[in-house]
């Protein structure tokens, strides 16, 4: 099974500063056939279902602000928020959809410093 490990578990960043969340997969999620990384990022605010932010590791979902970006390949990935806004306070999850058993990271709680 693919194990997804996020770091850190929690993060406090000042408004306007950069926030970086990492996600490491126990196996590569890069497809040799189409050169795509089967990795997505989600944002979840309290009392709400998760919201898709990024898929294929770096493709921003429609309507997601461009301060959110995804990078990485193979086993190591990063979600970056370039300038933290108050509404970005949430828990962020990565997920691999490479295998038939999708798995999520444990989540990273992002707060304002």
Partner 1 sequence: DVQLVESGGGLVQPGRSLRLSCAASGFTFSTYSMNWVRQAPGKGLEWLSYISSSGSAIYYADSVKGRFTFSRDNAKSSLYLQVNSLRDEDTAVYYCVREGEGGSYSSHWGQGTLVTVSS
Between 18 and 65, name the residue whose CB sits nearer to partner 1.
Answer: 65
Q: Does 33 bind partner 1 (CB under 8 A)?
A: no
Measured in degrees and rounded to the nearest 5, phi and psi for residue 79 equal: -105, 125
Q: Does 22 bind partner 1 (CB under 8 A)?
A: no
Evaluated on CA atoms 52, 48, 23, 68, the torsion sign reads: positive
- Site pattern 73..92 for partner 1 (x: CB under 8 A): ------------------x-
Q: Are 21 and 108 in contact (CB under 8 A)?
A: yes
Q: Does 42 bind partner 1 (CB under 8 A)?
A: yes
Give the Å distances, CA to CA, from 91 to 29, 48, 77. 22, 11, 17
List residues near partner 1 by CB under 8 A: 1, 36, 38, 40, 42, 44, 49-52, 55-56, 61, 91, 93, 95, 97, 100-107
């Amino acid at each position: 099974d693919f194990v997804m490990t996020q770091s850190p578990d929690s993060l406090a960043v000042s408004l306007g500063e950069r926030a970086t969340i990492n996600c490491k997969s126990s196996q590569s999620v890069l497809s040799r056939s189409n050169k795509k990384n089967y990795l997505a990022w989600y944002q979840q605010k309290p009392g709400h279902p998760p919201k898709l932010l990024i898929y294929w590791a770096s493709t921003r979902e429609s309507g997601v602000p461009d301060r959110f970006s995804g990078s990485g390949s193979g086993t190591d990935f990063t979600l970056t928020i370039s300038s933290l806004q108050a509404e970005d306070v949430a828990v962020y999850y990565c997920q691999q959809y490479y295998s038939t058993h999708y798995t999520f990271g444990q989540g990273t709680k992002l707060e304002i410093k």
